């Protein structure tokens, strides 16, 4: 068995003010259940990546509750912003997370076998993603500098997924992003998203990508519907267990709130 380095992928935690409820669910409670499950089963993970929509309304108090949850996670946490977040309130509560020279929450973390690059697609006042020239120039420089295979983390996907309502609020102008990666696609071993609230896997110009269910509410799989209304659906929340080893990037999905008992298959 190859040596794997383990990491956790969480997304769209959507915490609200005063640890209240959202769509009939309690985001803080659901996140705490994930944290407890991760600590019990994956305490050997080297870090946890959270791909945005950390809070639902960007409220300062919601970030304080988020920090309280994440402080109990037994590994470093690497968050990015989503469309529901507030850059200012995030920075107030997570002052140690780096920013680029223009104040965007973009940073690089050198892992054992990969370079992790975290991007900021948040734009105040809108739900679609924005990746401007300034952010794209930073990404280009980070990609050119990377000496190991790159893992890219961003909230919004930069391609249509076939759900009209979500495509409407995806990365709106993809040209700066596409220019930033042009010719360097082979350096990107995997791209991780949030935003969609349901599992998706695929490739773009040969780059593998994935996302997974939110720890709170979900989006129904409604295709060929031109409505811009986002259809919600409550499914099992998930987190991802990422195994990195040699040339492998392997992602397991764990439905951590699950009444199914373990049993031994045989016969």
16 with 57: CB under 8 angstroms? yes
Nearer to Fe ion, 12 or 254 (CB): 12
Stretch in the footprint of Fe ion (CB under 5 A) among 11-19, 22-30, 57-65, 142-150: 11-19
Q: How far is the CB of 24 from Fe ion (least distance, A)?
A: 16
The residue number whose beta carbon is nearest to Fe ion equals 53
Backbone angles phi, psi at 85, to 5 degrees: -90, 165
Size of the site for Fe ion (CB under 5 A): 2
Nearer to Fe ion, 57 or 91 (CB): 57
116 with 49: CB under 8 angstroms? yes
**Looking at the chain, which runs of residues are DSSP E strands?**
5-10, 48-51, 77-80, 107-110, 115-118, 150-153, 188-192, 200-204, 207-211, 218-219, 232-233, 238-245, 248-255
- Measured at the CA of 174, the angle between CA 91 and CA 95, to 5 degrees, comes to 10
Nearer to Fe ion, 52 or 146 (CB): 52
Q: Which of 7, 9, 12, 191 binds Fe ion (CB under 5 A)?
A: 12
Backbone angles phi, psi at 220, to 5 degrees: -75, 150
Stretch in the footprint of Fe ion (CB under 5 A) among 10-18, 163-171, 219-227, 241-249: 10-18
Q: How far is the CB of 79 from Fe ion (least distance, A)?
A: 13
d(CA 166, CA 156): 10
Nearer to Fe ion, 78 or 138 (CB): 78
Question: Which two tokens mark 99?
Answer: 């920013």
Q: How far is the CB of 197 from Fe ion (least distance, A)?
A: 6
Is 85 a residue that touches Fe ion (CB under 5 A)?
A: no
d(CA 52, CA 119): 10
85 with 43: CB under 8 angstroms? no
Q: How far is the CB of 105 from Fe ion (least distance, A)?
A: 16
Nearer to Fe ion, 102 or 233 (CB): 233
Q: How far is the CB of 222 from Fe ion (least distance, A)?
A: 17
Stretch in the footprint of Fe ion (CB under 5 A) among 6-14, 100-108, 122-130, 219-227: 6-14
Q: Which of residues 41-80 bind Fe ion (CB under 5 A)?
A: 53
Q: How far is the CB of 61 from Fe ion (least distance, A)?
A: 19
Closest of 227, 209, 197 to residue 82, by C-alpha: 197
Question: Which two tokens mark 211?
Answer: 């996302």
- Where on the chain is the footprint of Fe ion (CB under 5 A)? 12, 53
């Amino acid at each position: 068995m190859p040596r794997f380095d383990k990491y956790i992928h969480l997304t769209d935690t959507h915490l609200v003010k005063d640890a209240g409820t959202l769509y009939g669910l309690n985001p803080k409670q659901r996140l705490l259940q994930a944290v407890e499950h991760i600590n019990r089963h994956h305490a050997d993970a080297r870090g946890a990546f959270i791909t945005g929509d950390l809070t639902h309304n960007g409220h300062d108090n919601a970030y304080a509750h988020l920090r309280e949850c994440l402080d109990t996670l037994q590994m470093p946490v690497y968050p990015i912003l989503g469309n529901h977040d507030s850059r200012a309130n995030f920075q107030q509560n997570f002052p140690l997370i780096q920013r680029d020279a223009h104040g965007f929450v973009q940073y690089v973390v050198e892992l054992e076998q990969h370079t992790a690059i975290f991007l900021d697609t948040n734009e105040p006042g809108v739900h679609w993603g924005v990746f401007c020239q300034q952010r794209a120039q930073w990404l280009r420089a980070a990609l050119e500098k990377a000496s190991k295979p790159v893992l890219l983390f961003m909230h919004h996907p930069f391609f249509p997924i076939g759900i009209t309502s979500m495509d409407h609020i995806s990365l709106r102008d993809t040209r700066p992003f596409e220019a930033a990666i042009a010719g360097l696609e082979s350096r990107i071993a995997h791209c991780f998203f949030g935003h969609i609230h349901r599992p998706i896997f695929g490739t773009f110009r040969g780059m593998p990508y994935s996302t997974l269910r939110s720890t709170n509410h979900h989006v129904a799989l409604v295709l060929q519907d031109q409505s811009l209304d986002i259809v919600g659906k409550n499914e099992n929340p998930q987190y991802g267990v990422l195994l990195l080893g040699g040339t492998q990037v392997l992602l397991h999905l764990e439905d951590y709130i699950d009444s199914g008992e373990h049993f031994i298959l045989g016969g």
